[in-house]
C-alpha cells in the first residue's frame, strides 16, 4: 500500500464520519474537522487494515524526524499532533513512513 492509497482510504473514512463536510481532500485539516474520540478510533481502525502499526496507542507514537514538518509548516512530535494540526495527506504520509520503518505496510 502506498501513500496515495492510504490517503484515499482516509478520505473515504472521513467522508463517512463527516458526511456534512462539503469537500474532503488530502489537504483537509484534521483539526478543523472537529473529530471526537470515536471518530479518531474509526480512522485508526480503517488504517489498521493497511498499516497494522495503527493500534490504540498509535496517537502516542513519536513522528520520525524526517516527517515532522506538516503541510501547514507546523511541527508534529507525535501522531496526536498530526490529528490536531495536520492534514489527511500528512497523516497518510506519516502512517506509511512509520509502518515502513516497522515493516508493517501491507
CATH number at residue 72: 1.10.1200
pLDDT at 40 over 70: yes
pLDDT at 45 over 90: no
Nearby residues of 63 by Cβ (< 8 Å), 6 or more positions away: 76, 77, 78, 79, 81, 82, 94, 98
pLDDT band at 54 (very low <50, low <70, confident <90, very high): low
Count of domains observed in the chain: 1
What is the average pLDDT score of the chain?
A: 87
pLDDT of residue 82: 94
Encode pLDDT of 73-100 as tens digits.
999 999 999 999 999 999 999 988 887 8
Give the other-Cβ count within 10 Å of 5's Cβ: 12
pLDDT at 15 over 90: yes
pLDDT of residue 44: 84
pLDDT of residue 73: 96
Distance between terminal CA atoms of the chain? 6
CA distance 94 to 20: 26
> Residues of 12-32 as b/e, b for ≥16 C-beta within 10 angstroms?
ebbeebeeeeeebebebebbe
Domain residues for the domain of 40 are 3-102
Amino acid at each position: 500500500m502506498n501513500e496515495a492509497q492510504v490517503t484515499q482510504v482516509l478520505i473515504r473514512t472521513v467522508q463517512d464520519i463527516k458526511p456534512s463536510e462539503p469537500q474532503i481532500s488530502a489537504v483537509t485539516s484534521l483539526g478543523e474537522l472537529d473529530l471526537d474520540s470515536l471518530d479518531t478510533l474509526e480512522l485508526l481502525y480503517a488504517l489498521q487494515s493497511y498499516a497494522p502499526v495503527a493500534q490504540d496507542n498509535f496517537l502516542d507514537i513519536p513522528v520520525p524526524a524526517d516527517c515532522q514538518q506538516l503541510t501547514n509548516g507546523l511541527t508534529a512530535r507525535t501522531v496526536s499532533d498530526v490529528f490536531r494540526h495536520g492534514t489527511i495527506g500528512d497523516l497518510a504520509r506519516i502512517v506509511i513512513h512509520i509502518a515502513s520503518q516497522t515493516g508493517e505496510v501491507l
